[in-house]
């Protein structure tokens, strides 16, 4: 029997892994990538170090993707974290979670992950076509028969759509995968930027640009959002706020910004210190340490630029002593220390988003096989789907797991 012909659209982590899995299973594989290189985004992940997965158990891992997380069960069972790590080790890229959570290559080089995938593609005789845009699917009577690339028809028994999302276009993000899914009759949930830095209306965060706080809690200060809280590292930037904490909250915030001009947030800079503790502390400052300036006392708990910004925002002159603080200033300071208000007016947009929220609706994809319910022989993998996780190796693990699942099953399906 002739080997099955599988064409993969997109040479990111999902597409490369899909091509490897299909070729390992015996298929004759062609991989089309519209850019001149494979895996440009992959090479930039984790600040060039590639945080490819994390230590969470499968259930918790899936829960971090929200209500749709269970869709990943089949793919994670077939090719989960341990499979990915074992495979990377076999391919000469051992990985470790030095901090007990984030897995990186021991070499700390994303390029090593990319080159290992490229070596496998070569070894398995995958035909890689670079600078090749797939402009359409070749569909006949509810079945995919190939793709149209560079004006020519490329016949295939199965096609894997792994074209990624629209995020970070300078590294390859584009909406072309959505157009192909729509051509196949799929619904696309409106794409919006996620894992992106936020712009504040207040200018004071900019004065603290570069300052990082390791453990901050944040919530969206709107009645319908009060239940959910986020916790993590906060970074002040020239535009406002970023760091893993803000990247994680950015998805819901940017979606709210589609219907309102600004989104109020509250930040707890000391999540383990209660309002009562701060109340007592401020009272002690006034009585026991009254000769010291409020600014100097704040310096004991906050980086200098942030202490200055807090004083200015609370209307406390830098020379004011703790004993001379007005009741009004004290109340404001108490609020800032326990639930600091900031107003988000924008984000870095798709240009600076690490992932896309939205994409090809999961409703029309079989979770067990990742095959389209609309067109037989068409499989979907990676970020092009309506699934996105927070910072911390979630999105790459999903790209690799779904790629493997789609590749292994595309080779097996009826052709």
* Site residues (vs ligand FAD, CB under 6 A): 9-15, 32-35, 41-42, 44-46, 50-51, 133-134, 162-164, 167-168, 171-174, 176-177, 354-355, 382-383, 393-396, 399
| 285 vs 398, beta carbon nearer ligand FAD | 398
Question: 98: helix, coil or strand?
Answer: coil
Element (DSSP H or E) covering residue 140: strand 134-140
Q: Do the beta carbons of residue 130 and residue 117 sit within 8 Å? A: no
Nearest-approach distance from CB 11 to ligand FAD, in angstroms:
5
Q: Return d(Cα 117, Cα 31) in angstroms, integer.
A: 13
| 48 vs 290, beta carbon nearer ligand FAD | 48
Nearest-approach distance from CB 149 to ligand FAD, in angstroms:
7
Nearest-approach distance from CB 52 to ligand FAD, in angstroms:
6
Nearest-approach distance from CB 148 to ligand FAD, in angstroms:
10
Q: Do the beta carbons of residue 353 and residue 164 sit within 8 Å? A: no
Nearest-approach distance from CB 340 to ligand FAD, in angstroms:
28
Element (DSSP H or E) covering residue 32: strand 28-32
| 11 vs 346, beta carbon nearer ligand FAD | 11
Nearest-approach distance from CB 264 to ligand FAD, in angstroms:
28
| 16 vs 294, beta carbon nearer ligand FAD | 16
| 164 vs 348, beta carbon nearer ligand FAD | 164
Q: Return d(Cα 56, Cα 33) in angstroms, integer.
A: 32
What's the angle, vertex CA 100, arms to CA 99 and CA 101, rounded to 5? Answer: 95
Residue nearest to ligand FAD (CB): 12
Residues 6+ apart with CB under 8 A from 105: 49, 50, 52, 88, 93, 94, 95, 112, 113
Q: Do the beta carbons of residue 41 and residue 19 sit within 8 Å? A: no
Residues 6+ apart with CB under 8 A from 107: 93
| 33 vs 157, beta carbon nearer ligand FAD | 33
Residues 6+ apart with CB under 8 A from 19: 6, 8, 29, 31, 121, 124, 126, 160, 407
CA atoms within 13 A on the CB side of 139: 16
DSSP letter assigned to residue 157: S
Nearest-approach distance from CB 386 to ligand FAD, in angstroms:
12
Nearest-approach distance from CB 160 to ligand FAD, in angstroms:
11
| 146 vs 177, beta carbon nearer ligand FAD | 177
| 168 vs 278, beta carbon nearer ligand FAD | 168
């Amino acid at each position: 029997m002739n080997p099955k012909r599988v064409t993969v659209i997109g040479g990111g982590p999902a597409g490369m892994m899909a091509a490897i899995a299909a070729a390992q299973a015996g298929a004759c594989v062609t991989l089309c990538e519209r850019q001149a290189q494979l895996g440009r985004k992959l090479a930039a992940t984790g600040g060039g170090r590639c945080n490819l997965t994390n230590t969470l158990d499968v259930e918790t891992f899936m829960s971090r993707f929200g209500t749709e997380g269970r869709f990943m069960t089949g793919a994670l069972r077939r090719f989960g974290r341990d499979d990915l790590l074992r495979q990377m080790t076999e391919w000469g890229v051992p990985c470790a979670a030095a901090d007990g959570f984030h897995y990186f290559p021991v070499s700390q080089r994303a390029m090593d992950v990319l080159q290992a995938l490229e070596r496998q593609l070569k070894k398995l005789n995958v035909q890689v076509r670079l600078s090749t845009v797939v402009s359409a699917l070749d569909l006949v009577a509810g079945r995919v028969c190939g793709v149209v690339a560079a004006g020519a028809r490329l016949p295939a028994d199965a096609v894997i759509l792994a074209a990624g999302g629209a995020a970070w276009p300078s590294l390859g993000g584009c909406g072309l995968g959505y157009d192909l899914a729509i051509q196949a009759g799929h619904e696309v949930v409106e794409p919006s930027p996620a894992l992106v830095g936020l712009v504040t209306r207040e200018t004071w965060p900019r004065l603290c640009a570069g300052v990082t706080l390791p453990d901050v809690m944040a919530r969206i200060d709107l009645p319908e959002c009060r239940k959910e809280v986020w916790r993590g590292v906060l970074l002040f930037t020239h535009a406002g706020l970023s760091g893993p904490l803000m990247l994680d909250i950015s998805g819901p915030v940017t979606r709210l910004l589609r219907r309102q001009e600004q989104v109020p947030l509250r930040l707890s800079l000391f999540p383990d210190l209660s309002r009562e503790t701060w109340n007592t502390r401020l009272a002690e400052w006034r009585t026991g340490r009254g000769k010291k300036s409020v600014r100097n006392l704040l310096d004991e708990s906050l980086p200098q630029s942030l202490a200055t910004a807090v004083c200015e925002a609370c209307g406390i002159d830098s020379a004011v002593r703790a004993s001379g603080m007005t009741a009004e200033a004290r109340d404001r300071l108490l609020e800032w220390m326990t639930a600091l208000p900031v107003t988000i007016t924008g984000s870095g947009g798709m240009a600076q988003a690490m992932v896309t929220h939205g994409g090809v609706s999961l409703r029309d994809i079989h979770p067990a096989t990742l095959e389209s319910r609309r067109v037989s022989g068409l499989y979907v993998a990676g970020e092009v789907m309506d699934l996105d996780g927070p910072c911390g190796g979630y999105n790459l693990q999903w790209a690799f797991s779904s790629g493997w699942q789609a590749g292994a099953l595309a080779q097996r399906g009826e052709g």
